[in-house]
A and B are shown apart, each in its own frame.
Chain A
Amino acid sequence: KAGVTQTPRYLIKTRGQQVTLSCSPISGHRSVSWYQQTPGQGLQFLFEYFSETQRNKGNFPGRFSGRQFSNSRSEMNVSTLELGDSALYLCASSLGQGGAFFGQGTRLTVV
């Protein structure tokens, strides 16, 4: 069974630009969550989607948004990028009971 796949693996963007990251969950998993990982703040919850509905949102500004498609694939978008948005963005999928399984992440660098 294929694991969680995130694309792209690396991105370099300029301040003020926007970016879209993609996540394909494990087949059969309908819940997809997104996390931001930085050395200073650790792993922080962004939002969670289930059956195309956002069920939970973390404490991030409105520049961070996401969506989920009918095939459970998810995208997150960050608009008006700031230097502080540089981080590893991880998505995780779950059946809804039990553990979350992470993708390899997208390393975003804002210059």
Chain B
Amino acid sequence: GENVEQHPSTLSVQEGDSAVIKCTYSDSASNYFPWYKQELGKRPQLIIDIRSNVGEKKDQRIAVTLNKTAKHFSLHITETQPEDSAVYFCAASDSGGSNYKLTFGKGTLLTVNP
């Protein structure tokens, strides 16, 4: 089955800096890669996603890149703000872009220091 590795497990940055979280996946059939943000005590929220036919996608301060050959994808957050502090999860799915089965990374605790 699919295996998703996520690094780093913790990341601390100063407000205004950029943050990068990286994930690798094992199943070449995976074709949908969402990212979730989970604040303490709250539900995971979908913040951005990318499909395997796209190499990069941006939404304001966040962007995701995908390298299918190397089987890795990354989340980039620019101009970080204290409200970006949360746990971020990457995930992979081979079910045509649906949530049939998402395999998650272990998460990255991002702390943005004011």
Instruction: Write the residues of chain A forming the contact surface with B, with a CB cutoff of 8 angstroms.
Output: 31, 33, 35, 42-45, 48, 50, 55-56, 58, 90, 92-105
Contact = CB atoms under 8 A, between A and B. Distances in A.
A33 B106 contact: no
A102 B43 contact: yes
A49 B106 CA distance: 24
Interface of B: 34, 36, 42-46, 49, 89, 91, 95-107
Given A101-B46, A102-B43, A104-B42, A56 B107 contact: no
A94 to B, nearest CB: 4
Contacts of B34: 99-100
B104 to A, nearest CB: 4
Contact of A99 (B43, B46, B103): B46
Given A42-B105, A43-B104, A97 B98 contact: yes
